[in-house]
Amino acid sequence: MSREAGSGDRGRKTAAAPDPSGFSHPDTVAVLAGRRSGGAELAPALYPTTTFRIPSLEAGSRMALDSAESRYYTRNGNPTVAAFEQAMAELEGAEASRAFASGMGAVSCVVLGLCSSGDHIVAQRQLYSGTRFLLQAVCPRFGIDVTLVDGAEPGAFAAAVRPGRTMLVFAETPANPRLDLVDLEELGAIRGPLKAVDSTFAPPSITRPLDFGVDLSVHSATKGLGGHNDATLGVVSGTAELIASLWGFAILQGANAAPFDAMNGLRGLRTLGVRLERQSATAQRLAEALSDHPGVESVRYPGLASHPQHGLAKRQMRLFGGLLAFDLAGGSGAGERFIGAVRLAQAATSLGGPETLVAHSASTTHAGLTPGELEAAGIGPGTIRVSVGLEHSDDVVADLLHAADEATG
């Protein structure tokens, strides 16, 4: 082994990692971000420890109350988790980020960490069912009033705000599962309450909500950010003051991110740009092909001119993403036949990974909604959501067209 590669190198100064702030494109930032530790390792370093040695009682008292401390106790913070948080903050254009054990951990902390009895929340009807259940079933138990509006209707959020009472406006765009969009510029212009956006379907390489005046950007990093179906994570990004204010509730909530998941999430960020480009291109081709299928009643994809908010999508999305939804003729029977007929795609409820996944929304992701709530959300018995993977587009398109033939032929 040469001296340069061996132990004689220990005294040498490590060259600084490239500064992501010097580059504007999110794909480049995703590769460079989260490397402030100063180490020479290129892969994320794993700190699996739950506990750290405290240097002194005085230092321990300071560390216990420091929201930025990563070497006190892992429920408070951890070096591996901190690296993921740093990367997300740099990628989102935020001052700070906080990682959680799941997307719902992040959503719950935003809602319950900011709102108290007597407060009011405005949210949209087109929401992930877990978020909707939190708002409609849990919040009232704590005296928090919630108003649901049509997030795609111009002015709906602002019109529902109650001055002096509304603490939080919560949006999700693109919305699960029909890809309805919220006008982020309009949302960011609302004065008074804090604005939070669940942007899981549009990672920072596609949309950065904070650029539009939104206060908090929320993600289930389990999905596209992690990108490999091997990390269960949530993350919230915003100003340092806001993230620090959520830190205390997050410590009590206990939904802290595990170091191993944070390591996998950070690894996933490195390939975010190329994955989204491939998935978006395949999704566009698939959406166009399904639009021409006689057994498909409608297709929802922001990249299609037929999407009712296609113009808005072009204004606030760099790519149109790897998610699409469509309605089969023949209702739930057709949906069941479709799920049974796919050969390459796999039936599963998650999204953003390397495998193409299909889900019958009414019986999986939104199974807890009543028939009336499903109808209000635009989810029919034949609604199928597709998370496009990284397989060759020829194979993805052929497989789903074959399944549509089998389901409606």
- Distance (Å, whole) CA 397 – CA 288: 10
User: ∠ CA 191-158-236 to the nearest 5 degrees?
Assistant: 65
- Distance (Å, whole) CA 324 – CA 388: 8
Helix (H) or strand (E) holding 61: helix 57-64
Catalytic site includes residue 128: yes
* Catalytic member of 98, 223, 275, 385: 223
**Structure tokens that stand for 359 in this block:** 């889900």
3-state secondary structure of 387: strand
* Catalytic member of 183, 198, 261, 327: 198
Report the b/e string of 49-74 with b at 16+ CB within 10 A.
eeebeeeeeeeeeebeeebebbbbbb
* Catalytic member of 36, 75, 162, 267: 75
The label of the residue with tokens 């919305």 reads 175
Do 92 and 237 contact (CB within 8 A), yes or no?
Answer: yes
Catalytic site includes residue 198: yes
* Catalytic member of 47, 72, 73, 128: 128
219: buried, middle or exposed (CB in 10 Å: 19+, 13-18, 0-12)?
Answer: buried
Strand duo 383-387 + 323-328: pairing: antiparallel
- Annotated catalytic residues are 75, 128, 198, 223
